[in-house]
Structure 1
């Protein structure tokens, strides 16, 4: 069994001791177990340019199997051009990681996670039961699930994403992200690109407590039904300094299909396409979309529908 070397050096996150591990899946699993149990450092430095190629899952639960041991404590994975992937030849369906609350907290920095899923929930990351997932300068790609092709935020859990990319994943709802009831999600300086949903929310589907998007780009996503970029299902959503562009819906809301309370501030919804409501489709049930220094322009075949549903939006 590979040895986990504990270094008494100040780490970049919370000045924590580091477990520096080789390019070996067993070493990674052992380090996570030690961090969960408080018998080893909580901050794990992954091997530079390593591909941790997982052929069989390390853990399982009621919502499916996981490449890594379930995160039940505080764990930080620090990568440097590092990849964690489900082996393309793996016989089992599994995501990369499940973060179990209330004490599970996973921070991932500088890591590409890819190839996970073929499950009902979360192709790559699943924070659940009050767990927390934080992504920094990371990429999630080529993952598949019924709900949340890349990430499903479940049962009062929290997701924060900074300076990252979510691309080329697929689901029935939420090609990249699906926010479940009671969840809270923040995206900042993040790109959601080229994802698709066979139903709702090609980029993002949200039914959570809140979704906040800042200084980001939602582009090139597709929903076969509604919400090519984003589908908001009766949730509060605040979007600022963000562009939602070049998304497509087969039915309503190429950029956004909104059935909740949404505010766009200093943002643009442009060059999206749908059968109707090329930019925004505004639902009728006690929902609203407000514009603050924002523009909905150059969408096909129109910008906002029904006519007059979004004050300040013209065609």
Structure 2
């Protein structure tokens, strides 16, 4: 990825070296009329001109794209290859959604030389069928609204109703970021990512945002996005709000009403850390509420958060989320830690979450660390979470923990309050194996008991 640097100019004056500062570069400003040809022409001119450019869209105009860019048919607008600021002034750039009449294409692609600032703009109706950051791989689709392989800054904008669909691997229904990005004061809502193939092992990841990073998300809303797969066995739908494969920072952001749906497969958290990577996902402040992971005849893992890498969560409201798997396995209504996951959870509220598996197995209504991961939880409130499994097994209303296949899983608790949770067994805590000890934690008023099996958790009674 290239970056522009303005070098200092050194001149020789009167026999001495004197640093001469370069005047600050000013962006050329262009007013774009409310017409798609004018917007296309303005982007092409900006790409061809030296230095930064600022495109000022017509106030509240809707630029409706009816055909893709002829040179790059996966995109609706010309590829961003230079430094461009788009000042939307409340404008919308949308793909015409008439079924069968308009080809499928994303709205914007930022190349590795591009640097896009997008302000007060709505991006809508994009439909990705390719993955420009990873060319040469058929069956991939990335970034229905925007795919950024360069540098991207999004502020006070909306990404709504965009789709990424593929028959092998689809990610980033609204935003796909394999470059360097930031998103602030922005709504990402109603986007979809779909695996439409028939083979096992397909993936739909990051319906709202998919990040191969780094990425910062601040004071934004990720609302009502959907990740789904066909009924092919053992396919994966995860990160309906956001999926991270690299360094990701989320601050003071709401992630709500997102859904991962994977019949006969794996449905994982609205906020998900994909695979073990050096990059850490950090979530501070905000709320992750009323999200659902649904996997009938499959595995629902983490209604709010599914972590299988490095993750830190601090002062976050995690409430009203559900992991549901009829005739399957539901784990972690609030939070699930995978076998390679390391999660530090501090000062948060994990309340009113549910793991439900009629005719199956449900574990960990609030917190779930079942497969050998590492969970460190300090000063959290784990309240009123529920595990249910009609005609099945329901364990660990507040917390379920186990050592995994190697027995190496570790759960460290310190100063938490675990109360008023319920399950079939281990209303507060169910410890199957691994390492767990209480350190100043309050575990009481859970149903039908506080800890199970009897004596498994030293210091916990009743």
Task: Pick the TM interval, shorter chain.
Answer: 0.7 to 0.9
Instruction: Map 1:106-145; keep pairs closer than 5 Å.
Output: 106-119=215-228, 120-128=237-245, 131-145=246-260
Structure 2 residue aligned with 1:191: 317
For residues 345 and 250 of structure 2, the distance between their equivalents in structure 1, rounded to whole angstroms, comes to: 14
Shift of 1:274: 0.5
Question: Which structure exhibits the higher relative contact order, with contacts defined as CA atoms closer than 8 Å and separated by 6 or more residues?
Answer: 1
Q: Which runs of 5+ in 2 are unaligned?
A: 1-35, 44-52, 56-82, 95-105, 118-150, 197-203, 229-236, 294-299, 325-329, 357-361, 389-393, 403-408
For residues 76 and 304 of structure 1, the distance between their equivalents in structure 2, rounded to whole angstroms, comes to: 43
Contact 2:450 2:460 in 1 (8 A): yes
Q: Secondary structure at the match of 1:197?
A: strand
Shift of 1:98: 1.1
Structure 2 residue aligned with 1:303: 450
For residues 378 and 85 of structure 2, the distance between their equivalents in structure 1, rounded to whole angstroms, comes to: 38
1:173 aligns with 2:301: yes
Contact 2:173 2:207 in 1 (8 A): yes
Contact 1:273 1:300 in 2 (8 A): yes
Structure 2 residue aligned with 1:282: 431
Shift of 1:26: 4.4
1:32-91: CA deviation from partner (whole Å, max 9, x where unpaired): 726x545345462422xx5x2522326869542423342112111111xx4211269x9x
Contact 2:159 2:174 in 1 (8 A): no
1:118-149: CA deviation from partner (whole Å, max 9, x where unpaired): 32122121112xx1221100011111114323
CA 1:46/1:205 → structure 2, altered by over 3 Å: closer, same or farther? same
CA 1:58/1:227 → structure 2, altered by over 3 Å: closer, same or farther? closer
Q: Which runs of 5+ in 1 are unaligned?
A: 8-16
Structure 2 residue aligned with 1:202: 333
Aligned length in residues: 288
Contact 2:378 2:414 in 1 (8 A): yes
Instruction: Map 1:263-282; keep pairs closer than 5 Å.
Output: 263-282=412-431
CA 1:314/1:37 → structure 2, altered by over 3 Å: closer, same or farther? farther
Structure 2 residue aligned with 1:105: 214
For residues 18 and 210 of structure 1, the distance between their equivalents in structure 2, rounded to whole angstroms, comes to: 39
Structure 2 residue aligned with 1:149: 269
1:179-223: CA deviation from partner (whole Å, max 9, x where unpaired): 23xx01110011111001111110111113311101111110000
CA 1:43/1:280 → structure 2, altered by over 3 Å: closer, same or farther? same
For residues 431 and 109 of structure 2, the distance between their equivalents in structure 1, rounded to whole angstroms, comes to: 45
Q: Secondary structure at the match of 2:110?
A: helix
> Root-mean-square deviation (CA), in Å?
2.9
1:132-183: CA deviation from partner (whole Å, max 9, x where unpaired): 2211000111111143231221112432100120011111111011123xx0
Shift of 1:245: 0.6
Contact 1:136 1:164 in 2 (8 A): yes
Q: Secondary structure at the match of 1:292?
A: coil
What TM-score results when the alignment is normalised by the length of structure 1?
A: 0.82
